[in-house]
Structure 1
Amino acid sequence: MTVALMWEARAVPGRGEELLAWARAQELAVRPLRRETLRAPQDRVLVVTWWDAPYDAELPELPEPGGELVTRAVHRWRFESVDVRTG
C-alpha cells in the first residue's frame, strides 16, 4: 500500500522563502519513496511524502517550525493511494 503524508504551513507574511528553505532542509529519519515540496500564494509551503507502508504505520514527519516563522500550527493529513494515472 502507498501512503501519502501531507504537511502544510503558512509563513508569517514576507517570510515564505525562509519557510520554504526551512522545510527543504529538514531531514527525515527514514527516506520516503518520494518527497515533493510545493509553494503557493500567501507564503504557504506544502510537503508531500510517499511511503510503502500500511495506512496506520508510524512514519517520520516534518516537525513544527519555530512559532516566529509561521502564523498557525502546521496542518497534517494522511491519505491512502487508490489510483495512479500518468499522462
Structure 2
Amino acid sequence: MTVALMWEARAIEGRGEELLGWAREQGLPREPLRRETFRAAQDRVLVVTWWDAGPHEPLPELPEPPHGLVSRAVHRWRFESLGTE
C-alpha cells in the first residue's frame, strides 16, 4: 500500500523563500518512494512524501520549523493512495 504524508506550513510574511529553503534541507532517517515540494501564495510551503507502508505504520515526518519562521502551527495529513484513474 502507498501512503502519502503531507506537511504544510505558512511562513511569516516575507520569509517564504527562507521556509522553502529550510524545508528542502530537511533530511529524513530513511528515503521515501517520492518527495515533492510546492510553494503557494501567502508564503506557504507544502511537502508531500510517498511511502510503501501500512495505513497506521509510523513514518518519518519533517519537523517543526525554527521558532519565528512560521506564522502558525504546521498542518499534517496522512492519505492512503487509491491509485490513478
Q: Same fold (TM over 0.5)?
A: yes
Give the TM-score normalised by structure 2. Answer: 0.98
Q: Structure 1 stretches of 5 or more lacking a match? A: none
Give the TM-score normalised by structure 1. Answer: 0.96
> What RMSD, in angstroms, separates the aligned Cα atoms of the two structures?
0.6
Q: Structure 2 stretches of 5 or more lacking a match? A: none
**Misfit runs of 4+, over 6 Å:** none
The aligned residue for residue 58 of structure 1 is 58
The aligned residue for residue 82 of structure 1 is 82
Kindly tell me the number of residue pairs found equivalent between the two proteins. 85
Q: Following superposition of structure 1 onto structure 2, how do residues 3-18 of structure 1 map, counting pairs within 5 Å?
A: 3-18=3-18
The aligned residue for residue 46 of structure 2 is 46
Q: Secondary structure at the match of 2:9?
A: strand
The aligned residue for residue 36 of structure 2 is 36
Q: Note the C-alpha offset of 1:62.
A: 0.1
